[in-house]
Structure 1
């Protein structure tokens, strides 16, 4: 075989090897969501690729048969094509035996380099750039090859399946998509500029609803504005002016005996129409939805939907009222600062690059996000910044108390009747006197 014929044959072998490399990487890198979208748009080839991904054994068997066969042939043809030329070159300076050894080594390096660049690196980088589009083009020819080499495919596939079973490994790829997968995709989209950072944060907040308890976003007991059932109109007006909310629980004697709630919109309409506001003179009293304090926000949303309500009273295991929550509270958790009121003081204020001022009732998830840390000690024992300090100190915190955790120093700045108002968080582990 002449040098020209050998070079043509090597080029064909490189092209064949590149085909198999491209077929392999495009199938492995193809995203099922994108393939499903293409199939729904009418591309039948995408549906075939999806089926191959579910049972890829025959496909990859053909790929490996092709790659290994081509590699062996390439080595044989390459050595025969380049060795004579290299022998003639090296015989000018060394003995025939040494020239043959050097010629073999050089032929090996040339053939390996050609196959490495043109049959491996280039097609695989090409396949990673647009795997779905290439996979749908490759699936037809690969199906023909699977049929052609069916006996060999069957033999090698059964041998591989037996090895997998022996090792106790799954034969099929797990295609379950978890919330972590979706969050990872949105984070990648935010880094790539496809999603705005705020949009990505909203998506992350939605997935947090399953893990955040209702107590992390409720209006706590000491902040609830409520009415006695026999309060005069002057008291109602004064309380509404002092503490404007969307709903007010109506109680009998104390806050733990809730009779229902009144909607601020109903009271506003009565004021506009000149009607009295006294609770015994026609103000609509709505039945209060009561939920336990161990529910997640997702479960509270389901309760709102089932009861067709947007206001709930939260009780603990002793049937004592610990707070109230509205649908707007839950949605504000999802939307974050996109819906924060302009006159509402934020719970987390960043003072500089290394310090934050944090309200004691701030949900711990918001604290972790602001400080960019994964977790704090004993994460299952508290829901708020104040709860974290109580768990760490094992007592009610006092002003100037400090806790060091996660590479940060947490110092209590203000306490009002055992309630932690402000906590100073500083990056670094300052010494505690």
Structure 2
């Protein structure tokens, strides 16, 4: 053992300054490797929202970071190229050094030592440091990284072209500048994460989630169905029509003639009161055709976001929803869209119908017309609402049939039991989670 040590010392003495110069070069290359690794982690994990805010406040380094992130493929390519260059060069120098010290066994020694050095000091340590505060780390390294990207730009551009060509051979298409997640999905993920970590209460999460869902929902998903519409028959006597308007909890009512599908106008309660005053209280002289306004028809496939913008632009808060054949499907109000964001809005004239009644045994009795989204919000469930709007529609869709009373089905983690049915409509159901079913079985 002493002979081997004396032999190594002798070799080092023989190499003289060359040994120390090589050792210092290896250490410097490992520092560069740590810089590239930490920079890659920080710049890919940095919050684009916070960087954008810093950029608006005049932070010059934030401007650099924003430009680097905007071309993420070029950025990552430059950092990987730099990292591989210094790692390979450091490994080559270490192999040469250990070969001169230990002969042929030096290759094994160099492999073990460099693996440990690169793993600990050039990968784990800098990446752990960077992920702890990616924004600050990204701002600190951005000036140097910008130079590296500029230097390695031409070869990286060539590599990008080569990679795209190779991927195209396997049928993989990479769109330039495409993000894995859309801005809406990133916001939704951030909101859910904040809720899980206790930063947002459920009500706030639901409001923010409802706002993000507007572009994904259609008018048909939240409209008041035609079976629940309160309308006026223009052929009724003026006295009856005025009584119906005054008795209604709604301020706007559709007016139809001959057929409920033939909507000829929208009657506003204020206009009715104004007309009654003008005729001296003689309600028989009120002409509903004269005081009604022209109806506004919208397709059932219109997104809620587009419909909200249309409501605000036209300054009209009431629309009749029709299908592709022009048949009336229901009605939509501005309040219906706002309720998707803030939850139910009730005033002293609203008819409060909960439709969701939790039971002592852990089950929930639900009216068939309750929208799935409202039920999910009320119970904090995640029942799918892609194929059906109401809870009754979900049961029919999954069962592939119109069930009979007392029939039970199990899907999506719940036991659905039909409690009441009127003709072909499911009007009441009982929902019990499978966890409670198993608990009851024990």
What TM-score results when the alignment is normalised by the length of structure 1? 0.76
**Superposed displacement of residue 318, structure 1:** 5.1
In structure 1, which of residues 125, 130, 138 is the aligned counterpart of residue 128 of structure 2? 125
Give the structure 1 partner of residue 389 of structure 2. 383
In structure 2, which of residues 322, 331, 336 is the aligned counterpart of residue 329 of structure 1? 336
SS of the residue aligned with 1:17? helix
In structure 2, which of residues 415, 421, 426 is the aligned counterpart of residue 409 of structure 1? 415
Give the structure 1 partner of residue 11 of structure 2. none
The alignment status of 1:297 with 2:304, answered yes or no, reads: yes
The alignment status of 1:46 with 2:62, answered yes or no, reads: yes
The alignment status of 1:427 with 2:420, answered yes or no, reads: no
Write the distance in 1 (CA, Å) between the matches of 2:119 and 2:364: 54
**How many equivalent pairs are there?**
407
**Superposed displacement of residue 260, structure 1:** 0.8
Give the structure 2 partner of residue 259 of structure 1. 264
Give the structure 2 partner of residue 248 of structure 1. 253
Write the distance in 2 (CA, Å) between the matches of 1:345 and 1:408: 24
Taking structure 1 as reference, are residues 68 and 386 closer, same or farther at Cα in structure 2, changes over 3 Å only? same
RMSD across aligned C-alpha pairs, in angstroms? 4.1
Deviations 1:362-398 (A, max 9, x none): 223444664734637xx54x43222233445555444
Unaligned ranges ≥5, structure 2: 1-15
The alignment status of 1:348 with 2:361, answered yes or no, reads: no
Give the structure 2 partner of residue 224 of structure 1. 229
| Contact 1:356/1:426 (<8 A) preserved | yes
Give the structure 2 partner of residue 361 of structure 1. 369
The alignment status of 1:68 with 2:116, answered yes or no, reads: no
Taking structure 1 as reference, are residues 253 and 276 closer, same or farther at Cα in structure 2, changes over 3 Å only? farther
| Contact 1:230/1:279 (<8 A) preserved | no
Unaligned ranges ≥5, structure 1: 85-96
Give the structure 1 partner of residue 167 of structure 2. 167
**Superposed displacement of residue 328, structure 1:** 0.8
SS of the residue aligned with 1:422? strand
Q: How does 1:33-112 map to 2 (within 5 A)?
A: 33-53=49-69, 54=71, 55-56=74-75, 57-73=77-93, 112=115
SS of the residue aligned with 2:359? strand
Write the distance in 1 (CA, Å) between the matches of 2:282 and 2:330: 25
Write the distance in 2 (CA, Å) between the matches of 1:172 and 1:391: 40
**Superposed displacement of residue 167, structure 1:** 3.0
Q: How does 1:145-160 map to 2 (within 5 A)?
A: 150=151, 158=158
Bigger mean CA deviation after superposition, 312-321 or 68-77: 68-77
Write the distance in 2 (CA, Å) between the matches of 1:20 and 1:216: 50
SS of the residue aligned with 1:183? helix
Write the distance in 2 (CA, Å) between the matches of 1:216 and 1:414: 24
| Contact 1:210/1:298 (<8 A) preserved | yes
Write the distance in 2 (CA, Å) between the matches of 1:305 and 1:282: 29
| Contact 1:414/1:423 (<8 A) preserved | yes
| Contact 1:233/1:277 (<8 A) preserved | no
Write the distance in 1 (CA, Å) between the matches of 2:39 and 2:431: 54
Taking structure 1 as reference, are residues 36 and 388 closer, same or farther at Cα in structure 2, changes over 3 Å only? same
Write the distance in 2 (CA, Å) between the matches of 1:341 and 1:353: 32
Write the distance in 2 (CA, Å) between the matches of 1:199 and 1:311: 27
Taking structure 1 as reference, are residues 214 and 156 closer, same or farther at Cα in structure 2, changes over 3 Å only? closer
| Contact 1:213/1:383 (<8 A) preserved | no
